[in-house]
Amino acid sequence: MEQAFDFYAALRELIAQVPEEMSSTPQTLASALGDMLAEKAVVEALQRSDMADLRDRVSTKPGADEFEDFTTDKPLQRLARLQEDNARSVIQEDLFGSANHVAGIDVAYDGDDAYAACVVVDEGTRVVETGYFKSKVMFPYIPSYLSFREAQPAIGAARKVTGFDVLLVNGHGVAHPRGCGLASQIGLDLDVATIGVATGTLTKGAESARSSSCIMLDGRVVGARIETQGKPIYVSVGHKVRLGTAVKIVGGLMSGKGLPEPLKAAHREALRYKRLGVPPL
């Protein structure tokens, strides 16, 4: 997986191509990056201190002097193709033994610093082990590209624990426009069984399936909706697990509102790590 892609450096290189007497727009820059979904990320990136010297070359209002003739390889398209290629390696079969020890993983952010926590629980949802990992991230949140922001710190935290049977990831697996969301990518990189658990769906096609318990995409079942005391959650195969097994495991770890217990614990620990700045004792 290409984890080291620097979105902000790529954006700077594009803006630097804009002649001083002209300007571009966030929409045009997102197109030059390769995906219009990046428009919001471009707007937010322009507020960074390291972009201050280039802000006057970007305008939110298109004009006659708008620059569009960028030299670009459209890097987000390259990353999207990588996801499509990796999707072919995802295994949707149960290739693990018991599910006695289930881990949850989550990441909290403070600017470009990512604070990841991986919490392993036993059958009674008692915490038996926690691992932490901190890293720099140079990729913003862009819908369907979360792997390039979050996989690296998440994997770092997962490698800090001694082991687990199944890993729950706060993100999608195959219920992804290109079939390889964060949960699938982490499963592929670690070669472990993973399950994606999310609080929403990624595509309009999947949204339209809310009338049933299935998440449908392009005529295929790619996940399942689980009702909770609050908002529903959406479960999908990450890697090395069947959807039915994934739903059973997640359902058995629910308690009250929100996400299953391992992910709640990982979220709490990631926030605590962020607050303390050092791994909690």
Q: For residue 238, which of 165, 158, 180 has the smallest C-alpha distance?
A: 180
Give the count of beta carbons closer than 10 Å to the beta carbon of residue 263: 24
Confidence of residue 203 (pLDDT cuts 50, 70, 90): low
CA 105, CA 154: separation in Å to the nearest integer? Answer: 7
* 214-251 residue pLDDT tens: 888 888 899 999 988 878 999 999 999 999 999 999 99
Dihedral sign, Cα of residue 158, residue 267, residue 199, residue 4: negative
Half-sphere exposure of 79 (CA within 13 A, CB side): 24
Average confidence (pLDDT) over 6-20: 96
The neighbouring-strand residues paired with 197 are 170, 235
CATH T-level topology, domain 102-276: archaeoglobus fulgidus dsm 4304 fold (3.30.2170)
Residue 204 above 60 pLDDT? no
Residue boundaries of the structural domains of the chain: 7-73, 102-276
pLDDT-wise least confident of 51-60, 135-144, 202-211: 202-211
Q: Provide mean pLDDT across the span 94-102.
A: 95
Nearest to 163 by CA among 238, 93, 98: 98
- Report phi then psi at 66, rounded to 5: -70, 130
Distances (CA, A) of 160 to 22, 68, 72, 131, 281: 50, 46, 38, 5, 14
Residue 3 has pLDDT above 60, yes or no: no
- Angle at the Cα of 18 from the Cα atoms of 13 and 22, rounded to 5 degrees: 160
Select from 123, 185, 104, 184 the least CA-distant residue to 152. Answer: 185
Q: How many residues does the chain have?
A: 281
**pLDDT(205) > 70:** no
For 160-201, how does the pLDDT look when each residue is reduced to its tens digit (9 = 90+)? 999 999 999 999 999 999 999 999 999 999 999 999 999 988
Q: What is the pLDDT of residue 13?
A: 97
Whether 177 and 144 have beta carbons less than 8 Å apart is answered as: yes
